[in-house]
Chain A
Protein backbone atom coordinates (compact mmCIF):
# COMPACT_ATOMS: atom_id res chain seq x y z
CA UNK A 1 0.00 0.00 0.00
CA UNK A 2 1.39 3.41 -0.90
CA UNK A 3 1.87 5.99 1.84
CA UNK A 4 -0.67 8.22 0.13
CA UNK A 5 -3.28 5.44 0.19
CA UNK A 6 -2.43 4.52 3.77
CA UNK A 7 -2.94 8.09 4.98
CA UNK A 8 -6.13 8.36 2.97
CA UNK A 9 -7.54 5.27 4.67
CA UNK A 10 -6.26 6.40 8.07
CA UNK A 11 -8.00 9.72 7.62
CA UNK A 12 -11.19 7.89 6.64
CA UNK A 13 -11.17 5.98 9.92
CA UNK A 14 -9.98 2.56 8.73
CA UNK A 15 -8.74 0.54 11.78
CA UNK A 16 -6.46 -1.54 9.55
CA UNK A 17 -4.77 1.63 8.35
CA UNK A 18 -4.34 2.72 11.96
CA UNK A 19 -2.68 -0.59 12.76
CA UNK A 20 -0.46 -0.31 9.70
CA UNK A 21 0.55 3.22 10.68
CA UNK A 22 1.33 1.98 14.19
CA UNK A 23 3.41 -0.89 12.75
CA UNK A 24 5.38 1.60 10.65
CA UNK A 25 5.94 4.29 13.27
CA UNK A 26 4.88 2.96 16.67
CA UNK A 27 8.39 2.05 17.83
CA UNK A 28 9.73 5.44 16.78
CA UNK A 29 6.90 7.21 18.62
CA UNK A 30 7.69 5.06 21.68
CA UNK A 31 11.39 5.94 21.39
CA UNK A 32 10.54 9.66 21.46
CA UNK A 33 8.16 9.24 24.38
CA UNK A 34 10.40 7.08 26.55
CA UNK A 35 13.33 9.42 25.94
CA UNK A 36 11.25 12.46 26.90
CA UNK A 37 9.32 10.91 29.79
CA UNK A 38 11.72 8.31 31.20
CA UNK A 39 8.85 5.96 32.06
CA UNK A 40 7.54 3.03 30.01
CA UNK A 41 3.96 3.31 31.25
CA UNK A 42 3.77 7.02 30.44
CA UNK A 43 5.50 6.38 27.12
CA UNK A 44 2.85 3.79 26.15
CA UNK A 45 0.13 6.28 27.13
CA UNK A 46 1.88 8.85 24.94
CA UNK A 47 1.89 6.42 22.01
CA UNK A 48 -1.88 5.92 22.26
CA UNK A 49 -2.50 9.66 22.56
CA UNK A 50 -0.20 10.34 19.60
CA UNK A 51 -2.14 8.12 17.21
CA UNK A 52 -5.46 9.45 18.49
CA UNK A 53 -4.25 13.02 18.07
CA UNK A 54 -2.99 12.18 14.61
CA UNK A 55 -6.38 10.87 13.58
CA UNK A 56 -8.13 13.97 14.97
CA UNK A 57 -5.73 16.15 12.94
CA UNK A 58 -5.69 13.92 9.83
CA UNK A 59 -8.23 16.05 7.97
CA UNK A 60 -5.67 18.85 7.65
CA UNK A 61 -2.77 16.54 6.70
CA UNK A 62 -1.42 17.07 3.17
CA UNK A 63 -1.52 13.59 1.59
CA UNK A 64 1.35 14.50 -0.74
CA UNK A 65 3.76 14.88 2.21
CA UNK A 66 5.77 12.33 4.15
CA UNK A 67 3.81 11.57 7.35
CA UNK A 68 6.97 10.95 9.42
CA UNK A 69 7.76 14.60 10.35
CA UNK A 70 4.06 15.25 11.02
CA UNK A 71 3.80 12.23 13.34
CA UNK A 72 7.03 13.20 15.08
CA UNK A 73 5.69 16.71 15.76
CA UNK A 74 2.53 15.23 17.27
CA UNK A 75 4.52 12.70 19.34
CA UNK A 76 6.79 15.45 20.63
CA UNK A 77 3.87 17.67 21.60
CA UNK A 78 2.07 14.80 23.35
CA UNK A 79 5.24 13.93 25.29
CA UNK A 80 5.66 17.54 26.40
CA UNK A 81 2.02 17.73 27.52
CA UNK A 82 2.31 14.50 29.52
CA UNK A 83 5.59 15.64 31.06
CA UNK A 84 3.97 18.87 32.22
CA UNK A 85 0.91 17.02 33.48
CA UNK A 86 3.07 14.74 35.62
CA UNK A 87 5.00 17.71 36.97
CA UNK A 88 1.73 19.45 37.91
CA UNK A 89 0.58 16.31 39.75
CA UNK A 90 3.86 16.10 41.62
CA UNK A 91 3.67 19.84 42.41
CA UNK A 92 0.20 19.42 43.91
CA UNK A 93 1.40 16.49 46.01
CA UNK A 94 4.43 18.44 47.21
CA UNK A 95 2.58 21.76 47.56
CA UNK A 96 5.07 23.43 45.20
CA UNK A 97 4.25 25.95 42.46
CA UNK A 98 4.60 24.08 39.13
CA UNK A 99 6.72 25.41 36.26
CA UNK A 100 4.13 25.44 33.50
CA UNK A 101 6.43 26.13 30.56
CA UNK A 102 9.16 23.62 31.40
CA UNK A 103 10.30 21.13 28.75
CA UNK A 104 11.60 17.60 29.30
CA UNK A 105 15.41 17.81 29.58
CA UNK A 106 16.08 15.43 26.70
CA UNK A 107 13.43 16.81 24.32
CA UNK A 108 16.00 18.32 21.95
CA UNK A 109 17.52 14.90 21.19
CA UNK A 110 14.21 13.24 20.38
CA UNK A 111 14.35 14.20 16.69
CA UNK A 112 17.59 12.30 16.14
CA UNK A 113 16.30 9.40 18.26
CA UNK A 114 13.19 9.32 16.02
CA UNK A 115 15.26 9.31 12.83
CA UNK A 116 17.60 6.58 14.11
CA UNK A 117 14.67 4.38 15.17
CA UNK A 118 12.93 4.89 11.78
CA UNK A 119 16.18 3.96 9.99
CA UNK A 120 16.67 0.85 12.18
CA UNK A 121 13.15 -0.31 11.23
CA UNK A 122 14.17 -0.20 7.58
CA UNK A 123 17.13 -2.57 7.99
CA UNK A 124 16.87 -6.23 7.10
CA UNK A 125 16.42 -8.41 10.24
CA UNK A 126 19.99 -9.78 10.15
CA UNK A 127 21.35 -6.23 9.66
CA UNK A 128 19.32 -4.95 12.61
CA UNK A 129 20.51 -7.80 14.82
CA UNK A 130 24.20 -7.26 14.12
CA UNK A 131 23.81 -3.52 14.80
CA UNK A 132 22.03 -4.27 18.06
CA UNK A 133 24.53 -6.82 19.41
CA UNK A 134 27.59 -4.77 18.45
CA UNK A 135 26.43 -1.28 19.51
CA UNK A 136 23.89 -1.88 22.27
CA UNK A 137 25.34 -5.04 23.76
CA UNK A 138 28.95 -4.19 22.89
CA UNK A 139 29.88 -7.62 21.49
CA UNK A 140 32.92 -8.02 19.28
CA UNK A 141 32.51 -9.64 15.88
CA UNK A 142 33.85 -12.98 17.18
CA UNK A 143 31.49 -12.83 20.22
CA UNK A 144 28.57 -12.00 17.94
CA UNK A 145 29.49 -14.85 15.57
CA UNK A 146 29.59 -17.33 18.45
CA UNK A 147 26.27 -16.14 19.86
CA UNK A 148 24.49 -16.07 16.52
CA UNK A 149 26.01 -19.35 15.38
CA UNK A 150 27.49 -18.06 12.13
CA UNK A 151 31.07 -17.76 10.83
CA UNK A 152 32.90 -14.57 11.79
CA UNK A 153 33.29 -13.71 8.09
CA UNK A 154 29.50 -13.68 7.80
CA UNK A 155 29.20 -11.32 10.78
CA UNK A 156 31.84 -8.98 9.32
CA UNK A 157 30.11 -8.76 5.95
CA UNK A 158 26.70 -8.32 7.58
CA UNK A 159 28.08 -5.59 9.81
CA UNK A 160 29.69 -3.81 6.90
CA UNK A 161 26.47 -4.02 4.86
CA UNK A 162 24.30 -2.94 7.82
CA UNK A 163 26.41 0.11 8.62
CA UNK A 164 26.58 1.14 4.98
CA UNK A 165 22.79 0.87 4.77
CA UNK A 166 22.28 2.75 8.05
CA UNK A 167 24.72 5.52 7.10
CA UNK A 168 22.83 6.04 3.84
CA UNK A 169 19.46 6.16 5.61
CA UNK A 170 20.77 8.77 8.06
CA UNK A 171 22.71 10.87 5.56
CA UNK A 172 20.15 13.71 5.80
CA UNK A 173 21.00 14.17 9.50
CA UNK A 174 24.58 15.03 8.58
CA UNK A 175 23.38 17.44 5.88
CA UNK A 176 21.13 19.24 8.40
CA UNK A 177 23.91 19.39 10.98
CA UNK A 178 26.49 20.86 8.61
CA UNK A 179 24.11 23.33 6.90
Chain B
Protein backbone atom coordinates (compact mmCIF):
# COMPACT_ATOMS: atom_id res chain seq x y z
CA UNK B 1 0.00 0.00 0.00
CA UNK B 2 1.44 3.41 -0.94
CA UNK B 3 0.98 6.77 0.75
CA UNK B 4 -1.83 7.92 -1.57
CA UNK B 5 -3.83 4.73 -1.09
CA UNK B 6 -3.44 4.92 2.68
CA UNK B 7 -4.51 8.55 2.84
CA UNK B 8 -7.56 7.97 0.66
CA UNK B 9 -8.56 5.02 2.86
CA UNK B 10 -7.99 7.02 6.06
CA UNK B 11 -10.03 9.92 4.72
CA UNK B 12 -12.80 7.48 3.85
CA UNK B 13 -12.65 6.02 7.37
CA UNK B 14 -11.74 2.63 5.97
CA UNK B 15 -8.93 1.25 8.12
CA UNK B 16 -8.33 -2.46 7.58
CA UNK B 17 -5.37 -4.71 8.28
CA UNK B 18 -3.30 -3.42 5.36
CA UNK B 19 -3.89 0.20 6.40
CA UNK B 20 -2.92 -0.58 10.00
CA UNK B 21 0.27 -2.29 8.78
CA UNK B 22 1.12 0.71 6.61
CA UNK B 23 0.66 3.30 9.35
CA UNK B 24 2.69 1.30 11.86
CA UNK B 25 5.68 1.45 9.52
CA UNK B 26 5.28 4.88 7.90
CA UNK B 27 6.19 7.96 9.95
CA UNK B 28 5.09 10.31 7.17
CA UNK B 29 1.57 8.89 7.08
CA UNK B 30 1.35 8.80 10.88
CA UNK B 31 2.22 12.50 10.89
CA UNK B 32 -0.46 13.15 8.26
CA UNK B 33 -3.31 11.61 10.28
CA UNK B 34 -3.90 14.76 12.34
CA UNK B 35 -4.55 16.77 9.19
CA UNK B 36 -6.68 13.98 7.74
CA UNK B 37 -8.73 13.93 10.95
CA UNK B 38 -9.25 17.70 10.63
CA UNK B 39 -10.40 17.22 7.04
CA UNK B 40 -12.85 14.48 8.06
CA UNK B 41 -14.24 16.82 10.73
CA UNK B 42 -14.76 19.52 8.10
CA UNK B 43 -16.50 17.05 5.79
CA UNK B 44 -18.95 16.22 8.59
CA UNK B 45 -19.44 19.91 9.52
CA UNK B 46 -22.76 21.42 8.30
CA UNK B 47 -21.11 24.79 7.55
CA UNK B 48 -18.94 23.09 4.91
CA UNK B 49 -22.07 22.05 3.01
CA UNK B 50 -24.17 25.16 3.68
CA UNK B 51 -24.76 26.97 0.40
CA UNK B 52 -25.87 30.53 -0.32
CA UNK B 53 -29.30 31.34 -1.76
CA UNK B 54 -29.56 30.40 -5.46
CA UNK B 55 -29.93 34.04 -6.50
CA UNK B 56 -26.80 35.28 -4.70
CA UNK B 57 -24.77 35.08 -7.90
CA UNK B 58 -27.21 37.44 -9.63
CA UNK B 59 -27.09 39.79 -6.64
CA UNK B 60 -23.29 39.82 -6.74
CA UNK B 61 -23.31 40.73 -10.45
CA UNK B 62 -26.00 43.40 -9.87
CA UNK B 63 -23.93 44.97 -7.08
CA UNK B 64 -20.89 44.84 -9.31
CA UNK B 65 -22.74 46.59 -12.15
CA UNK B 66 -23.92 49.33 -9.73
CA UNK B 67 -20.36 49.81 -8.47
CA UNK B 68 -18.97 49.91 -11.98
CA UNK B 69 -21.52 52.50 -13.09
CA UNK B 70 -20.58 54.96 -10.32
CA UNK B 71 -19.25 58.22 -11.83
CA UNK B 72 -15.49 58.75 -11.55
CA UNK B 73 -14.49 61.01 -8.63
CA UNK B 74 -13.14 64.36 -9.94
CA UNK B 75 -9.48 65.12 -9.27
CA UNK B 76 -8.74 67.56 -6.46
CA UNK B 77 -7.36 70.02 -8.99
CA UNK B 78 -10.75 70.20 -10.71
CA UNK B 79 -12.42 70.86 -7.35
CA UNK B 80 -10.32 73.99 -6.77
CA UNK B 81 -11.86 75.55 -9.86
CA UNK B 82 -15.45 74.33 -9.61
CA UNK B 83 -16.62 74.56 -5.96
CA UNK B 84 -17.75 77.58 -3.91
CA UNK B 85 -15.29 79.20 -1.47
CA UNK B 86 -16.58 77.49 1.71
CA UNK B 87 -16.35 74.05 0.15
CA UNK B 88 -12.92 74.94 -1.28
CA UNK B 89 -11.68 75.70 2.27
CA UNK B 90 -12.95 72.28 3.42
CA UNK B 91 -11.16 70.60 0.52
CA UNK B 92 -7.94 72.48 1.33
CA UNK B 93 -8.12 71.29 4.95
CA UNK B 94 -8.58 67.72 3.77
CA UNK B 95 -5.60 67.97 1.39
CA UNK B 96 -3.35 69.34 4.14
CA UNK B 97 -4.32 66.82 6.84
CA UNK B 98 -4.83 63.56 4.87
CA UNK B 99 -2.03 60.97 5.07
CA UNK B 100 0.31 61.27 2.06
CA UNK B 101 0.17 58.56 -0.56
CA UNK B 102 3.05 56.06 -0.26
CA UNK B 103 6.15 56.64 -2.36
CA UNK B 104 6.06 53.02 -3.43
CA UNK B 105 3.97 49.88 -3.03
CA UNK B 106 4.94 46.26 -3.71
CA UNK B 107 3.36 42.82 -3.42
CA UNK B 108 5.00 40.37 -1.02
CA UNK B 109 4.14 36.83 -2.13
CA UNK B 110 4.28 33.79 0.11
CA UNK B 111 6.99 31.23 -0.66
CA UNK B 112 7.76 27.56 -0.01
CA UNK B 113 5.98 26.35 3.12
CA UNK B 114 3.93 29.55 3.36
CA UNK B 115 2.77 29.62 -0.25
CA UNK B 116 -0.75 30.59 0.84
CA UNK B 117 0.49 33.70 2.64
CA UNK B 118 0.39 37.04 0.89
CA UNK B 119 1.19 40.60 1.69
CA UNK B 120 1.69 44.13 0.48
CA UNK B 121 4.19 46.76 1.58
CA UNK B 122 3.63 50.50 1.25
CA UNK B 123 6.68 52.66 1.81
CA UNK B 124 7.41 56.30 2.55
CA UNK B 125 10.90 57.74 2.12
CA UNK B 126 11.58 59.71 5.29
CA UNK B 127 14.60 61.50 6.73
CA UNK B 128 15.28 58.56 9.08
CA UNK B 129 15.15 55.99 6.27
CA UNK B 130 11.97 54.21 5.20
CA UNK B 131 8.65 53.99 6.97
CA UNK B 132 6.53 51.04 5.89
CA UNK B 133 3.05 49.71 6.40
CA UNK B 134 3.13 45.96 5.98
CA UNK B 135 -0.10 44.03 5.48
CA UNK B 136 0.11 40.24 5.72
CA UNK B 137 -2.70 37.68 5.33
CA UNK B 138 -2.89 33.90 5.66
CA UNK B 139 0.10 33.58 7.94
CA UNK B 140 -0.42 31.51 11.10
CA UNK B 141 0.63 33.06 14.40
CA UNK B 142 4.32 32.54 15.16
CA UNK B 143 4.76 29.66 17.61
CA UNK B 144 6.12 30.27 21.11
CA UNK B 145 9.80 31.20 20.97
CA UNK B 146 9.59 32.59 17.44
CA UNK B 147 8.75 35.88 15.75
CA UNK B 148 8.29 36.97 12.15
CA UNK B 149 11.02 39.43 11.18
CA UNK B 150 10.97 41.86 8.26
CA UNK B 151 14.21 42.39 6.32
CA UNK B 152 15.48 44.82 3.70
CA UNK B 153 18.47 43.42 1.84
CA UNK B 154 21.03 44.14 -0.83
CA UNK B 155 22.99 40.97 -1.60
CA UNK B 156 24.26 39.65 1.71
CA UNK B 157 23.68 42.89 3.56
CA UNK B 158 20.53 42.69 5.67
CA UNK B 159 18.75 45.28 7.77
CA UNK B 160 15.91 44.33 10.09
CA UNK B 161 12.92 46.67 10.09
CA UNK B 162 11.22 44.98 13.03
CA UNK B 163 9.20 41.96 14.05
CA UNK B 164 5.61 40.81 14.64
CA UNK B 165 3.87 37.63 15.70
CA UNK B 166 0.73 37.27 13.58
CA UNK B 167 -0.90 38.27 10.31
CA UNK B 168 -2.41 41.73 10.06
CA UNK B 169 -1.04 45.23 9.59
CA UNK B 170 2.11 46.57 11.20
CA UNK B 171 4.07 49.81 10.86
CA UNK B 172 7.82 49.35 10.59
CA UNK B 173 10.76 51.71 10.14
CA UNK B 174 14.19 50.92 8.71
CA UNK B 175 17.19 53.21 8.65
CA UNK B 176 17.91 52.50 4.98
CA UNK B 177 16.24 53.25 1.67
CA UNK B 178 14.54 50.75 -0.64
CA UNK B 179 16.64 52.11 -3.46
CA UNK B 180 19.75 50.78 -1.68
CA UNK B 181 18.10 47.69 -0.11
CA UNK B 182 15.52 46.55 -2.65
CA UNK B 183 14.79 43.03 -1.49
CA UNK B 184 11.96 42.82 1.04
CA UNK B 185 11.36 39.55 2.84
CA UNK B 186 9.99 38.03 6.02
CA UNK B 187 11.44 35.09 7.94
CA UNK B 188 10.34 33.19 11.05
CA UNK B 189 13.15 33.73 13.51
CA UNK B 190 13.89 31.97 16.81
CA UNK B 191 14.31 34.21 19.83
CA UNK B 192 17.92 33.16 20.28
CA UNK B 193 19.70 36.50 20.32
CA UNK B 194 21.05 36.02 16.79
CA UNK B 195 20.51 39.27 14.85
CA UNK B 196 21.04 37.75 11.39
CA UNK B 197 18.27 36.19 9.26
CA UNK B 198 18.56 32.46 9.90
CA UNK B 199 14.95 31.30 9.92
CA UNK B 200 12.59 29.95 7.26
CA UNK B 201 11.61 32.44 4.58
CA UNK B 202 7.82 32.92 4.45
CA UNK B 203 7.33 35.94 2.16
CA UNK B 204 9.79 37.40 -0.34
CA UNK B 205 9.85 39.92 -3.18
CA UNK B 206 12.85 37.99 -4.50
Residues of A within 8 A of B (CB): 13, 15, 18-19, 22-23, 26-27, 30-31, 34-35, 40, 43-44, 47-48, 51-52, 55-56, 60, 62, 65, 69-70, 72-73, 76-77, 108-109, 111-113, 116-117, 120, 131-132, 134-136, 138, 159-160, 163-164, 166-168, 170-179
Contacts and interface: CB of A to CB of B under 8 A. Distances in A.
Chain B interface SS verdict (over half): helix
Interface stretch (B71-79, B82-90, B107-115, B171-179): B107-115
Interface string B1-27: 000110111011000000000000000
B39 A111 contact: no
Contacts of A31: 47-48, 50
Contact of A164 (B8, B40, B138): B8
Chain A interface SS verdict (over half): helix
Nearest to A101: B168
Interface residues of B, number: 52
B126 interface: no
Interface in B138-181: 138, 140
B109 A65 contact: yes
17 contacts: A13-B68, A15-B68, A22-B61, A34-B47, A40-B52, A44-B52, A48-B59, A52-B64, A65-B109, A113-B42, A116-B39, A116-B42, A136-B48, A159-B12, A163-B11, A173-B39, A176-B115
Contacts of B140: 108
B43 interface: yes
Interface string B40-62: 10111111111111001101110
Name the residue in A73, A171, A174, A177 with the highest tally of chain B Cβ atoms < 10 Å from its Cβ: A174
Contacts of B43: 116, 131, 135-136
A22 B35 contact: no
A44 B64 contact: no
Nearest to A21: B60
Closest 8 CB pairs of A and B: A73-B137, A135-B43, A179-B113, A164-B8, A163-B12, A177-B35, A167-B8, A163-B8
Contacts of A174: 7, 32, 35-36
Nearest to A50: B60
A171 B32 CA distance: 10
Contacts of A167: 4, 7-8, 11, 36
A30 B50 contact: yes
B60 A48 contact: yes
Given A31-B47, A69-B118, A174-B36, 16 more contacts: A15-B68, A31-B50, A40-B50, A48-B56, A52-B67, A69-B117, A109-B42, A117-B48, A135-B40, A136-B45, A163-B11, A166-B11, A167-B7, A167-B11, A176-B115, A178-B32
